Structure 1
Amino acid sequence: MMSDDRVFATYWIETAFPLEQAAATMAGEQSTGTFVRVPGETDALREAHAARVESIEDLGEVAVPSLPGSGLPKTGDTTRRAARVVLSWPLVNFGASLPNLLAAVAGNLSELKAFSGLKLIDLTLPPAFLARYQGPQFGVAGTRRLAGVYDRPIIGTIIKPSVGLSPEATAEQVRVLVEAGVDFIKDDELQADGPHCPFDARISAVMRVINDHADRTGKTVMFAANLTGEIDEMLARHDHVLAEGGTCIMASMNSIGLPAMKVLRAHSQLPIHGHRNGWGMLGRSPAIGMSFIAYQKLWRLAGIDHTHVNGIDNKFCEPNNSVIASARECLTPMFDAPHPGCEIMPVFSSGQSARQAAPTYAALGSVDCMFAAGGGIMAHPGGPAAGVRALMLAWDAAVAGVPVEQAAQDSPELAAALGAFGG
């Protein structure tokens, strides 16, 4: 580890204190200092270990505090300002450790009384992290190879109802979907190993269907089996998926944590579909938490191969510009050459249909993604096969620069999709 390696973190802040003072408070709180100078905090120690304020960009006044509980300076000034602040830390403070990195760049910052808003926006990490963390094992290229899909998005869907189906009923739904021509199917994040649908029984039933379909057609549909659980359970469940011929596993990232994901990645011989459920608690507020840009970098290093980024005109609260920024970031290398880029496949989901193919491609500029539709496939008037066909045709038209309404003139499946999903 080079002694001059540093971690950089970018924040949005809101405070009534002078911006320079507020930024210095952040740096001190998360490195060598506290609210007063303490014995042992020598100049030499501060020089070697103190966080640095790299830059401050004043973003102007704000009318009211975004969060409750913030304080005011002794001057009595009530004017609050927003700013973009970049801090850096020497890597020697915490080493190449994602849990301890998170304690430094997030930690107690959001509780500091000087701030009425503070959000982690981005992280820039030194390549030293690659000496400890493996990053994605399959990424875009490996996922495409296992799914057998090239030069277009991987078209996917999800098992619904989320819970309540037996292993046999789940397998029957999978049979309908694989015969419809879908590329990728995932468990719902709520379905892991419940007593009504035990993991081993479900995966065995599902893989009998997928393997039979592969024997007949040559296409092995990728099924992301939700193995979320305790570490020993996840490793055993991975082994069961592998033994049954499965080609993907899924884990709820916020439920298992970064260290467990690192262990799973080291053990896994399959792509890891990282489900971000719970991310809204971190990302929804503009005044607290962290952006998905920063969040996904941690999980990429820990070893996921794909993750959800929401979708254009989705059913949730995330705006389109945030969705696309997240997807682009997944496909952007984390480190400069010659180090591995750690790119992962973004998964568009949440209320997606043939309507969103063109705007998604126009904004992303790439077909390196999964495009997952539940109702957009299962609720198609012509049935699931027509739903899958409509999505593929919509993407073909988008890449060719043909308006989707024009393409629909030659495709009853696409025309029906546009009629059914016109909102």
Structure 2
Amino acid sequence: MERITGHYLIETPYNLEDAAAVLAGEQSSGTFVSVPGETEELKERFAARIENIEELDEVKNPSIPGDINNSKYKRARVSISWSVENFQDNIPTLISTLQGNLYELRQFTGLKFDDFDLPHWYMGKFRGPAFGADGTKQLAGVKSDRPMIGTIIKPSVGMSPEDTAALVKELIEAGIDFIKDDELMSSTANSPFKKRVELVMKEINDFQQKTGKKVMYAFNISGDLDTLKNNYETIVKNDGTCAMISINSVGWAGVKAIADMGKLSIHAHRNGWGMINRHPMLGINFPAYSKLWRLAGVDQLHVNGIRNKFWESDESVIRSIKSCSDRFLDHKELLPVVSSGQWGGQAFDTWKFTNTTDLLYMAGGGIMAHPSGPAGGVRALTQAWEGAVSGKSLEETEKAHKEFAESVQKFGKK
């Protein structure tokens, strides 16, 4: 049978081969002791298999608590494989295996799930993104030669539907491509979801009637399954094009149930990402994470940004952006959502290191706090990307465009 392979970064005070064998046994047919029925035939068919061990360095101190004190903790890259027969097409069970109890094994003082490979058997089993990067940009009327330019409604919580709609009108008249609810905003006492959708989409649909441009708004539909479905249908009834889901809160099965409805581009917000990724030797890395959500069918996925306001390194962000376009089964590419303290100044390095405009480039303060207002902020981001893609430097672009020059003065000195 074809096999699924998981790739891990491990740290252990034990012999590497012994530690890897514990991981393989615990995550397939084995336990801490031999049990009746665990025949050689059963193990041959269902047991996990160590495929590769690449020894790395040693450290003196454990990254996380383990079961013994030692003067040396060995690190390695390890690949473990499982037969497709163990899971068939049950992805929650696959997730439980690839990143389940293995984090609790006392043999490890560090374990990071880095990536995984699925065999040909999975081709056609999951549709993946309905729109992906290209389809989402087409829905927003954005050509392939530039990123989508987006922003977030601020303040995050507390604005009335009328106030939100008024801000949306200002933003769409400024030339924005994409606007989204903050992840903290769903349906509040002073902003019921249904009313907010109706008023916001009236502004968007009226603007489309006048100009032909349909701005994409990502309404946060997160909730239990009934709430997800009802909110989704409210967007569809009002001619919206996008729904946002806090994927770590809703879970894989809930996200897939909504993505399978197939009428809206799914904006996947990864709030809580730091909890599962921030420690360098614990959790999951983006290549594995993004594949799991592609299987669920999301179209857009947050990746942070260059010189972001959070903790994540530029190297990690660049790897994340690139992994969204990695070939994976027959699935469409994801649209990376670049955000977190972005303004036009980071466009030049983002282009330099990724060489792609298949991005949703979002700026909150970088647009809202622009000296010439939101319209100036949108123009400045567009000018920055035009300059970057055409090979101009930040300094050359600053000299050529008033709005971008104002951005440099406002944000570039911080």
Q: TM-score, normalised by structure 1?
A: 0.95
Q: Which of 283, 293, 317 is 2:311 aligned to?
A: 317
* Displacement after TM superposition at 1:351 (Å): 0.4
Runs of 4+ in 1 over 2 A off after TM superposition: 69-72, 126-133
Match of 2:211 in 1: 217
Conservation of the 8 A alpha-carbon contact between 2:134 and 2:358: no
In 2, Cα distance between equivalents of 1:271 and 1:66: 39
**Do 1:293 and 1:329's aligned partners in 2 also have CA atoms closer than 8 Å?**
yes
> 1:171-225 CA deviation, whole Å, 9 max, x = no partner?
1111111011000000001101122211101010100111111111111100001
Q: Is residue 12 from structure 1 mapped to residue 5 from structure 2 by the alignment?
A: no
Contact 2:131/2:332 (<8 A) preserved: no
In the alignment, which of 272, 277, 281 is matched to residue 283 of structure 1? Answer: 277
- How far, CA to CA, are the matches of 1:128 and 1:176 in structure 2? 50
SS at match of 1:8: strand
Q: Within the alignment, does 1:271 sit opposite 2:265 as a pair?
A: yes
Per the alignment, residue 88 of structure 1 pairs with 81
Displacement of 1:333 in angstroms is: 1.4
Q: Which residue of structure 1 lines up, in the alignment, with residue 125 of structure 2? A: 132
In the alignment, is residue 344 of structure 1 matched against residue 321 of structure 2? Answer: no
Alignment match of 1:296 (pick from 261, 272, 290): 290
Contact 2:161 2:196 in 1 (8 A): yes
- Residue deviations 1:216-266 (CA, integer Å, cap 9, x gap): 111110000110111111111111111111111110101111111111012
- Report the Cα distance in structure 2 between the residues aligned to 1:45 and 1:21, rounded to whole angstroms: 21
Match of 1:388 among 366, 378, 382: 378
| Residues 265 and 299, structure 2, Cα contact 8 Å, conserved in 1 | yes
Structure 1: give runs of 5+ residues left out of the alignment: none
Residue of structure 1 aligned with 2:400, choices 390, 401, 410 = 410
Q: Aligned partner of 1:56: which letter? A: I
2:104 matches 1:111? yes
Closer, same or farther: CA 128–200 of 1 in aligned 2, 3 Å: farther
Aligned pair count reads: 412
Say which SS state the counterpart of residue 164 (structure 1) adopts: coil
Shift of 1:416: 0.5
- Aligned counterparts of 1:126 and 1:256: Cα–Cα separation in 2: 27
SS in structure 2 at match of 1:20:
helix
SS of 1:409's partner is helix
1:355 & 1:199 partners in 2: Cα distance?
Answer: 35
For 1:25 and 1:78, the matched residues in 2 are separated by 21
Change in Cα spacing, 1:249 to 1:127, as seen in structure 2 (3 Å) is farther
What amino acid is the match of 2:374? P
Q: Do the aligned partners of 1:13 and 1:83 also contact (CA within 8 Å) in 2?
A: yes
Paired with 2:226 and 2:203, the residues of 1 have a C-alpha distance of 27
Counterpart contact for 1:156–1:183, Cα < 8 Å: yes
Q: Which residue of 1 aligns with 2:156?
A: 162
Match of 1:395, SS? Answer: helix
Cα-to-partner distance string for 1:273-293 (whole Å, 9 max, x where unaligned): 011011111111111111111
Query: Does 1:147 pair with 2:149?
Result: no
Amino acid at match of 2:289: Y
CA contact (8 A) 1:71 1:115 kept: no
Distance 1:83 1:410 in 2: 50
SS of 2:52 mapped into structure 1: strand
* Contact 1:188/1:226 (<8 A) preserved: yes
Deviations 1:323-378 (A, max 9, x none): 0100100011113xxxx133110010000001101000001111110100011111
Deviation at 1:6, TM superposition (A): 0.9
Pair 1:38-2:35 in alignment: yes
Q: Secondary structure at the match of 1:304?
A: coil
What is the DSSP-based 3-state SS (H/G/I as helix, E as strand, rest coil) of the residue aligned with 1:100?
helix
What are the ranges of 5 or more consecutive residues in structure 2 without an aligned counterpart?
Answer: none
The answer to whether structure 1 residue 204 and structure 2 residue 194 are counterparts is no
User: Match of 1:104, as an amino acid?
Assistant: T
How big is the alpha-carbon RMSD for the aligned residues of Structure 1 and Structure 2?
1.1
Matches of 2:121 and 2:165, distance apart in 1: 44
The Cα of 1:128 is off from its aligned counterpart by: 3.3
Distance (whole Å) between structure 2 residues aligned to residue 359 and residue 238 of structure 1:
36
8 Å contact from structure 1 (residues 133, 262) kept in 2:
no
| Aligned residue type for 1:81 | K
Deviation at 1:67, TM superposition (A): 0.5
CA contact (8 A) 1:181 1:385 kept: yes
Q: Deviation per CA, 1:377-398: give whole Å up to 9, x if none.
A: 1111011111111111110110
Work out the CA distance in 1 between the residues paired with 2:209 and 2:42: 65
Give the match's secondary structure for 1:272. Answer: strand
